[in-house]
Each structure stands twice: as structure tokens, then as C-alpha cells.
Amino acid sequence: MTTTIFDFVGSNQGEWKVTSMTTLKGEVLAPITHLQKVASTLEQSENGIWTLKGVISNLRYTEKEDKEKLVAIQEDLGRASATFAAFIPIRKSEAWWNLAQDERRKIMENKSQHTHTGMKYLPAIARKLFHSRDIGQPFDFLTYFEYAPTDANAFEELLYALRTTEEWTYIDREVEIRLIK
């Protein structure tokens, strides 16, 4: 069976070395020097300074046309050239979760153009979204990206574009951890 549950273990050892940790909103995460992503289970929890668990899930808002486009152009994690990474755990506010599904989609896709903006950065940026809210974790989403050093500026541009959208006004906790292999 394919693993769908992962632990992001922050500690003093691991595959990825932390180059910076920035709290953009909400409570900070304890400082770490390394991060490792490991296949896990719901019951199991890795040691470390902290561990954040996430599940690969189905798409919630993406419609057929965009889904097909994404599948056609996105790259997998683990490319040899992708020696830079970013791990960005995110929590959205109660106001967001109190909205109906169609209202959330309208904000994400029609008003904020999340997928439309993001797609411009594929396949350079490899991305993976992990869901955490339904398994009682402190964040709702664990977002993870890998890219080559030559695409570092493009990644900054993407972050800037997303963070100035209406969608981002619903984010009440966001910590950005930059990594190098």
C-alpha cells in the first residue's frame, strides 16, 4: 500500500539543513537545525524537537481541467537538482472554516487565483500538500516545496504573490522553514 501519512521531524539531524526559520503569523515553532520527512502512521510518532504529521488527501477545490493540467506538468519531489526546499505549515482561521465549500473555493480560485498563479511556477517548483486539520494537529496544512537554486528567485516571487491575496487574510498561523540539502 502506498504511504499517505508523513511525519516532518524537526531535530538536530536529518536530510535537510535549516537555513532560516521565520514566523510570519501566530505562535512560533521551537528552533531546529534539521528537518526530515519520513513515512509514518497515525499512531506512530517520531522523536525530535517536534514532529508534525500530515496526510496526502484528495483535492477539495480543483476542477477537472486544472487537475489534468497539474498532473501533466508538475514534477515529483526528490529531483537531484532540487537542493533547496521550503516547509511551510499553515493554519486557517475559524472564519475560513465557517465558510461554505463554494465560498472557500471562490476566495481561493476566483479572487485569489491560487492555482492559476501557482501553475506559472511549474514544473520548476515541486510541491506537495499534506492535510493536518482532521487528525488533530496544530496546523491545518503542511506545505512542502523543492527547487533548484537557479529557481530561488521564482519561488520568492510566488510566495509574494500568494501572500498578498484575500485567501492569505484567513491564515492565522504560518511558519516558514527554508532548507538546503
Binding site for ligand HEM (CB under 6 A): 59-62, 70, 88, 90, 92, 114-115, 118-119, 121-122, 125, 127, 129, 141, 143, 158-159, 162
Specify the residue, 118 or 138, whose C-beta has the smaller distance to ligand HEM: 118
User: Closer to ligand HEM at the Cβ: 12 or 180?
Assistant: 180
CA dihedral 155, 159, 161, 162 (to 10 degrees): 130
- At residue 56, what is the residue type? I
Nearer to ligand HEM, 32 or 142 (CB): 142
User: CA-CA distance, 121 to 135, in Å (whole number)?
Assistant: 30
Q: Which is nearer to ligand HEM, 3 or 22 (CB)?
A: 22
Q: Could you tell me the smallest distance in angstroms from the CB atom of residue 13 to ligand HEM? A: 26
State the residue number with the nearest CB to ligand HEM: 118
How far apart are CB 93 and ligand HEM at their closest, in Å?
Answer: 11
Q: How far is the CB of 18 from ligand HEM (least distance, A)?
A: 17
User: Taking the complex as a whole, how short is the minimal distance between the CB of residue 145 and ligand HEM, in angstroms?
Assistant: 6
